[in-house]
């Protein structure tokens, strides 16, 4: 009898290239012939936007700094020589430093903060270092032409709230100084007008920077969500392919075992049939406990979100608590195993702990060493692990062994009348000479 394999490819038997390889070659050929079908990289991302914006602001500072040079030369003698030399050197040196750092993409935030800080120091100290306070100043100080540059660099260096505070406070400081005798003794209306004008220009730059960053962040989040969905689809496809492969092997193994058992007459033949059946069951158990690993990773937060969503979809309520999860990642195969084990623990609680009146909870938390811990518990009737029949393999198979194969650990705390708590942790942190913790069988699906 010839059995057809579900995963066999007829093209292989005829010597033709497999459909999958041919499809890939055809796709590459079409991409070369039609450039619009070739995969395009996303042109917008937060990292790229930050680079472009920081360089633009740095060049913006250089251009405005050059425009301020005529006023600087005409007013240079109004300040004390030492202060004028230090102020000019510090301001223009910081602008060049910001341009250099933005170009090499190193210390970008710090260099722009340096420009903002140096400008504030120069602005506040300017009235105290006049060469001759009796000589009146004509027009605005040359520092005023760099106010927008300072507010623009603050938009790069500070967060939105800090940049907004800088945008309002620094121009107002100039307006106040401009109305004092040391600042030229202009009318307060003129100082207020100058401050408002600088705030409007700086606000436009801040709005552009903030909106561009927000748009880039939205694109990154959407792209990340799409990649997560794609990775999940890939894992599901790999699982389905593996399942088909296992089914075909089991189908052939079971059929061969049944034929051998049907023809067995001697004790040796019967023993061989029993051995073949045991081998088939062992291979099935091993295949069921191993998830395909495609090398992808997921964040702890994404794993927690999936488990929390599953808890909220249960027919009975669970109290949910998530805390102390950082940005660490976990391999996708291990995350899938922990997710399946947690869902099985919740299903066991729903089936065996009692009705909706029983208090149930789910806790997902980050612990020392960058690990994750998942606790599923209830205040139901509990059970005696010693009384669970040996043939009940649900918890041992779906929770304990699955978690252990993923490099984690499962622990059970239960007693009659005291509820049940299942704790899953990944990875395992134990001393080398520590004895492995025992896990008694709980009631579950076979």
pLDDT, tens digit, for every residue of 261-278? 777 778 777 777 777 777
Instruction: Please give the mean pLDDT across all residues of the chain.
Output: 77
Q: In which band, very low, low, confident or very high, does the pLDDT at 196 lie, cut at 50, 70 and 90?
A: very high
Among 27-36, 86-95, 320-329, 393-402, the minimum mean pLDDT is found in 27-36
Q: In which band, very low, low, confident or very high, does the pLDDT at 295 lie, cut at 50, 70 and 90?
A: low
**Residues pairing with 365 in the sheet:** 323, 373
411 and 422 in contact (C-beta within 8 Å)? yes
Predicted pLDDT of residue 445: 33
Q: In which band, very low, low, confident or very high, does the pLDDT at 124 lie, cut at 50, 70 and 90?
A: very high
**Within 13 Å and on the Cβ side, how many CA atoms surround 24?**
4
d(CA 202, CA 191): 16
Q: In which band, very low, low, confident or very high, does the pLDDT at 161 lie, cut at 50, 70 and 90?
A: very high
Among 35-49, 362-376, 412-426, the minimum mean pLDDT is found in 35-49
When pLDDT is averaged across residues 418-432 and rounded to a whole number, the result is 76
Decide which of 186 and 163 is more confident: 163
Chain segment 142-160, per-residue pLDDT in tens: 999 899 999 999 999 999 9
Q: In which band, very low, low, confident or very high, does the pLDDT at 238 lie, cut at 50, 70 and 90?
A: confident
SS (H, E, C) the chain: CCCCCCCCCHHHHCCCCCHHHHHHHHHHHHHHHCHHHCCCCCCCCHHHHHHHHHHHHHHHHHHHHHHCHHHHHHHHHHECHHHHHHHHHHHHHHHHHHHHHHHHCCCHHHHHHHHHHHHHHHHHHHHHHECCCCCCCCCCCHHHHHHHHHHHHHHHHCCHHHHHHHHHHHHHHHHHHHCCHHHCCCCHHHHHHHHHHHHHHHHHHHHHHHHHHHHHHHHHHHHHHHHHHHHHHHHHHHHHHHHHHHHHHHHHHHHHHHHHHHHCCCHHHHHHHHHHHHHHHHHHHHHHHCCCCCCCEEEHHHHHHHHHHHHHCCCCCCEEEEECCCCCEEEHHHHHHHHHHHHHHHHHHHHHCCCCCCCEEEEEEEEHHHEEEEEEEECCCCCCHHHCCCCCCHHHHHHHHHHHHCCCEEEEEECCCCCEEEEEEECCCCCCCCCCCCCCCCCCCC
pLDDT over threshold 90, residue 58: yes
Predicted pLDDT of residue 26: 47
442 and 420 in contact (C-beta within 8 Å)? yes
Decide which of 237 and 279 is more confident: 237
When pLDDT is averaged across residues 420-426 and rounded to a whole number, the result is 89
Predicted pLDDT of residue 56: 92
Structure tokens at 114: 């340096």
Q: In which band, very low, low, confident or very high, does the pLDDT at 119 lie, cut at 50, 70 and 90?
A: very high
Predicted structure pTM score: 0.50
Among 24-38, 317-331, 381-395, the minimum mean pLDDT is found in 24-38
Q: In which band, very low, low, confident or very high, does the pLDDT at 10 lie, cut at 50, 70 and 90?
A: very low
Decide which of 272 and 377 is more confident: 377
Among 46-55, 222-231, 260-269, the minimum mean pLDDT is found in 260-269
């Amino acid at each position: 009898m010839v059995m057809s394999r579900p995963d066999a490819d007829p093209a292989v038997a005829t010597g033709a290239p497999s459909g999958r390889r041919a499809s890939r070659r055809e796709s590459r050929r079409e991409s070369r012939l039609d450039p619009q079908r070739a995969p395009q990289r996303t042109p917008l991302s937060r990292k790229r936007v930050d680079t472009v914006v920081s360089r633009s602001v740095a060049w913006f500072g250089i251009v405005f700094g050059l425009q301020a040079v005529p006023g600087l030369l005409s007013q240079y003698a109004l300040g004390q020589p030492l202060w004028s030399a230090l102020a000019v050197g510090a301001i223009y040196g910081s602008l060049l430093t910001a341009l250099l750092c933005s170009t090499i993409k190193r210390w970008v935030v710090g260099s722009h903060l340096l420009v903002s800080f140096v400008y504030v120091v120069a602005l506040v100290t300017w009235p105290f270092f006049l060469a001759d306070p009796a000589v009146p100043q004509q027009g605005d100080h040359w520092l005023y032409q760099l106010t927008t540059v300072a507010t623009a660099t603050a938009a790069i260096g500070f967060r939105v709230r800090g940049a907004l505070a800088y945008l309002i406070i620094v121009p107002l400081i100039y307006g106040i100084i401009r109305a004092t005798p040391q600042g030229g003794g202009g009318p307060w209306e003129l100082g207020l007008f100058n401050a408002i004008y600088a705030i409007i220009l700086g606000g436009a730059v801040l709005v552009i920077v903030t909106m561009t960053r927000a748009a880039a962040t939205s694109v990154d989040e959407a792209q990340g969500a799409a990649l997560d969905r794609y990775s999940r689809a890939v894992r599901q496809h790999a699982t389905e392919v593996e399942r088909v492969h296992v089914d075909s092997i089991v189908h052939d193994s079971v059929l061969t075992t049944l034929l051998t058992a049907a023809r067995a007459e001697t004790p040796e033949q019967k023993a061989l049939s029993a051995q073949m059946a045991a081998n088939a069951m062992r291979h099935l158990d091993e295949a069921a406990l191993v998830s395909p690993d495609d090398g992808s990773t997921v964040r702890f937060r994404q794993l927690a979100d999936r488990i929390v969503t599953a808890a909220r979809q249960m027919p009975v309520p669970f109290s949910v608590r998530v805390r102390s999860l950082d940005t660490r990642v976990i391999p996708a195969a291990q995350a899938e195993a922990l997710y399946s084990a947690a869902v099985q623990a919740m299903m066991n609680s729903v089936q065996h702990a009692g009705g909706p009146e029983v208090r149930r909870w789910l806790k997902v938390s980050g612990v020392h060493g960058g690990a994750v811990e998942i606790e599923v518990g209830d205040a139901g009737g509990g059970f005696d692990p010693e009384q669970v029949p040996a043939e009940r393999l649900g918890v041992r198979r779906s929770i304990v062994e699955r978690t252990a194969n993923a490099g984690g650990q499962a622990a059970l705390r239960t007693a009659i009348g005291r509820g049940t708590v299942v704790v899953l942790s990944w990875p395992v942190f134990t001393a080398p000479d520590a004895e492995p913790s025992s896990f008694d069988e709980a009631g579950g699906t076979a």
